[in-house]
A and B are shown apart, each in its own frame.
Chain A
Amino acid sequence: MHVFYRSFIIVLLAIGFLNTPSFASSEPSEMFITSVTSEALDILKNAKNTEEREAAFGRLLDTRTNMKRIAKFTLGRSARTISDDEFNRFQSVLGDTMVKIYANRLAGFTDEKVVVTGSQTKGRNHLVTSRVEFANSRPPVDMVWWVIEEKDGSFALFDIQVLGVWMAQEQRDIFSGILKSNNNKINALIEHLAAQVKTTP
Chain B
Amino acid sequence: MNATKILLLAVALLLATTSLKADDAIRDPYESLNRKAFAVHLVLDKYLARPIATVYKTALPTPIRRSIGNMLGTWSMPITMANDALQGEWRKLGTDSARFGINMTIGLAGIIDMASHLGMTKQSEDFGQTLARYGIKSGPYLFIPLLGPSTPRHLVGRSFDTFLDPVTYLQEHEYRDSITGLGIINSRANLIEPLDDLEKSSSDLYTSYKSFYWQNRQFEINNGSTTFESLPDISALDDE
Contact = CB atoms under 8 A, between A and B. Distances in A.
A174 B208 contact: yes
Contacts of B200: 104, 200-201
Interface stretch (B51-59, B143-151, B211-219): B211-219
A169 B120 contact: no
Interface residues of B, number: 35
A129 B197 CA distance: 24
Given A170-B211, A173-B210, A178-B204, A127 B106 contact: no
B212 A165 contact: yes
Interface in A77-134: 97, 100-101, 104-105, 108, 120, 122, 125, 127, 129
Main secondary structure of the interface of B (DSSP, over half): helix
A158 interface: yes
A109 to B, nearest CB: 11
A150 to B, nearest CB: 9
A57 interface: no
Interface string B198-235: 10111110111011100110111000101010011010
B118 interface: yes
Nearest to A100: B201
Interface stretch (A12-20, A23-31, A32-40, A45-53): A12-20
B232 A169 contact: yes
Nearest to B25: A173
B193 interface: yes
A7 to B, nearest CB: 11
Nearest to B197: A105
Contact of B207 (A19, A100, A136, A173): A173
Given A17-B118, A105-B197, A163-B219, A146 B211 contact: no
B204 A174 contact: yes
A96 to B, nearest CB: 12
Contact of A177 (B98, B106, B207, B218): B207
A144 interface: yes
Interface string A183-201: 0000000001100100011
A164 B218 contact: yes
Given A73-B234, A201-B200, A174 B220 contact: no
Contact of B119 (A18, A105, A125, A178): A18
A165 B198 CA distance: 13
B203 to A, nearest CB: 5
Contact of B215 (A105, A108, A170): A170
B162 interface: no
B220 A164 contact: yes
A200 B201 contact: yes
Interface in A146-167: 146, 158, 161, 163-166
Given A17-B119, A101-B201, A164-B218, A158 B234 contact: yes
Given A164-B216, A177-B204, A196-B203, A69 B238 contact: yes
Q: Which 3 A-B pairs have the closest CB atoms?
A: A164-B219, A173-B211, A170-B211
9 contacts: A73-B234, A73-B237, A104-B201, A142-B224, A166-B215, A169-B211, A174-B211, A178-B203, A193-B203
Given A104-B197, A173-B207, A174-B207, 8 more contacts: A19-B119, A100-B201, A104-B201, A120-B228, A164-B216, A169-B232, A178-B204, A193-B203
